[in-house]
Amino acid sequence: MFEVEINIQGAGLAGLSSAIFLSNVGINVSVAEKYSHIGIAHNENTQAMRNYGQGEDLLSEFKNMGLKLKNLKPIYRINKYAPSLRKSIIYSKDKPLFYVFKRGPREDSIDHQLYDQAISNGTNFNFSYSFKNSEIDVVARGSTYNTGFGYGKVFQDVDIDDDLIHFLLDNKYAPDGYIYALPFGKHEITIASTSFRKNVFELKKLFDKFMVENKVFSELVEGGSIKHDFSGTGFYSLPKTAVIGRKYYVGGAAGFVEASRGFGDYYAVKSGFHVSRAINEKLDYDKLWRDDFGKELFEGFSKRMFLRGLDNSGYEKLIPKKEKVEISEYAKLSKRILKFFLELYSVKKLNNWRQEYPLIP
Ligand SMILES: Cc1cc2nc3c(=O)[nH]c(=O)nc-3n(C[C@H](O)[C@H](O)[C@H](O)COP(=O)(O)OP(=O)(O)OC[C@H]3O[C@@H](n4cnc5c(N)ncnc54)[C@H](O)[C@@H]3O)c2cc1C
């Protein structure tokens, strides 16, 4: 074991992954978590990670990195709806488009699985506890700012397709955001609404109205019952540096969230991996994460800036005209639109954003 001990503030996906990767190379790790148990920060809900647009399958990527994860379920289709409810089905025949999994305190959640692995590696956990600022080496405390909001419900005893996600753009119910439905098996579905404009309280009211008025999403949960609701906030950014005052920022704390669709879990895990290499091999953390996913985050940021300006008639045009589109064809379409985004929304907007939402030591 090394003499040095690394203190990680926060036991979400970024903090837990950092702990596993650091302890895998023999470094002593202590984690402080402000809640009394793992996963409390995210009430149980289903989340998704994108598996398209990157070479390796996520499951083998995680396995090769040394993570032991079970219960990630493959998704092969996504129904994308315009505000008029016109739909286009994006599908893949072989490689899953997404994996869905549980977040939260459940034993089969990925939070809990990572926690079990960190414990078996010898990580020291301090619950209901925070390190003093001067003691922290890795900042993994989740969103530094609230630039996005989410509210949703988990429904049980439903009867649904277990390999199909539903996704809707509609400013009436999710202003400057989107609504999604993620299955977890055939009998449970999480439906949630996100907004980069309305807070959680306002979103909840809009969500309840939506579930009464929208026939596609309300039909999904027909005959089922509500298990519970959940809410949360997110922070997206692309910092110039994620090392502030000798502290490494990982996951949501650094703003590592793909801003167009709110995907942050993958970057939380990957930044944990990069921070462990930076510490263990004395490498440049900023270079590691930027080379790995900086481009993706910049594209996501540009898309978000573009989407912010759209009303429902603009959303209507974003959903492909064809009823069914294979993922490689869809990726080509998206690339063409993205080129347009990037020309319009460049580094200037990002610099303004960084000034508005700086990482603070
Ligand atoms: C409603 C909602 C739905 C989402 N859906 C998806 C999705 O489908 N796919 C996806 O990829 N991403 C999704 N995200 C984003 C994703 O949840 C985050 O990007 C991810 O959880 C970030 O991981 P993290 O470890 O950085 O932060 P968190 O998972 O938030 O963990 C931070 C931890 O730090 C603890 N903490 C905070 N402050 C302190 C302190 N002072 N001292 C000690 N501990 C502290 C917290 O209690 C928490 O346990 C969603 C977010 C929300 C809000």
What is the 77 CA–ligand 1 centroid distance (Å)? 26
Measure CA of the first residue to CA of the last residue in the chain; give whole Å: 29
Nearest CA to 301 out of 347, 243, 337, 234 is that of 347
- Say yes or no: CB of residue 300 within 6 Å of ligand 1: no
- Say yes or no: CB of residue 251 within 6 Å of ligand 1: yes
Running DSSP on this structure, what letter comes out for residue 251? Answer: G
The rounded distance, in Å, linking the Cα atoms of 274 and 260 is 23
- Closest ligand 1 atom to Cα of 35: 47
Return the residue whose CA atom lies nearest to atom 45 of ligand 1.
Answer: 10
Per-residue pLDDT of the chain (361 residues; tens, 9 = 90+): 446 799 999 999 999 999 999 999 999 999 999 999 999 998 899 999 999 876 789 999 999 999 999 999 999 999 999 999 999 999 999 999 999 999 999 999 999 999 999 999 999 999 999 999 999 999 999 999 999 999 999 999 999 999 999 999 999 999 999 999 999 999 999 999 999 988 889 999 999 999 999 999 999 999 999 999 999 999 999 999 999 999 999 999 999 999 999 999 999 999 999 999 999 999 999 999 999 999 999 989 988 988 888 999 999 999 999 999 999 999 887 777 767 666 666 677 888 889 889 887 6
The rounded distance, in Å, linking the Cα atoms of 287 and 278 is 10
Q: Residue 303: what residue type?
A: K
The rounded distance, in Å, linking the Cα atoms of 186 and 355 is 45
Return the residue whose CA atom lies nearest to atom 30 of ligand 1.
Answer: 142
Helical spans, DSSP H, in the chain: 13-24, 58-65, 110-120, 200-213, 215-220, 265-281, 285-289, 295-308, 312-318, 327-344, 347-356
122: phi then psi, degrees, rounded to nearest 5: 95, 10
Q: Are 25 and 2 in contact (CB under 8 A)?
A: no
* Residue in 8, 42, 184 to alter for ligand 1 test, most ligand atoms within 8 A of Cβ: 42
What is the 235 CA–ligand 1 centroid distance (Å)? 10
pTM value is 0.96
